[in-house]
Amino acid sequence: MKCLDDLEMTDLVSGNMPGPESAAAEEHLRDCAVCRAEYSALSTAARSAAAAPPAPLPEDFTARLMTRLDEERPAAGLISRLLPSPPAKKLAFALAASMVIAAALLQRHTGPSLQVDPPLILTDRPLTFAQPPDAGRSSRDEELFLSDRCLMVNCGL
């Protein structure tokens, strides 16, 4: 085998030379002092670079980064502060959903009927029951309507 060129030498040193070629190159190194010296110099440099670990960041780096990320997502940040772990979030969601369903069922069976009784209207005239809001509206536009029930959405309050 002829002497290794720069790129082949780099492939060998960095472990990027395929197996059969690598074996042939190593055999050549045993016989060629020039290539052996070059290989030794580059390997030493590679090992030295591999032995120099990254300079460490401060220990609180991750905490500060996560705080910054959390602040950049305000709504999600609030949730994660209140419910730090995914299982807790799932449990809370399930509980909230159950409560909403239970409240809806309870209201259906025990709550006030969605059909509103004719509201009690207090006017400057004698006490009377009003017509449903739409009926006869034009004739009552100028009256003062005061009611003990919600006329807007018939919520029963």
Partner 1 sequence: MDKSRARSRENDLARLAGTGDLRAFSELVEIFKDRLHQFILCIIGPDRETEDLTQEAFIRIYKALPSFRGDCAFSTWAYAVTRNVCRGALRKRGREGDILEDAGEERLARVPDRAPLPGELLGKRETAAIVRAEIEELSPIHRAVLFLNCWEKLSYEEMAQALDIPLGTVRSRLHNALAALSARLRKALPEENRS
Q: Which is nearer to partner 1, 62 or 128 (by Cβ)?
A: 62
**Binding flag, residue 50, partner 1 (CB under 8 A):** yes
For residue 54, which amino acid is it? P
User: Counting beta carbons within 10 angstroms of the beta carbon of residue 9, is it exposed (0 to 12), middle (13 to 18) or buried (19 or more)?
Assistant: buried
- For 103-141, b/e burial (b = at least 16 CB within 10 A) is eeeeeeeeeeeeebeebebeeeeeeeebeebeeeeeeee
**Binding flag, residue 14, partner 1 (CB under 8 A):** yes
Residue with tokens 């395929």: 18
Segment contacting partner 1 by CB under 8 A, of 61-69, 99-107, 114-122, 138-146: 61-69
Residues 78 to 117: which contact partner 1 by CB under 8 A?
80, 85-86
Binding region for partner 1 (CB under 8 A): 6-7, 9-11, 13-14, 16, 41-42, 44-58, 61-62, 64-66, 68-70, 72, 76, 80, 85-86
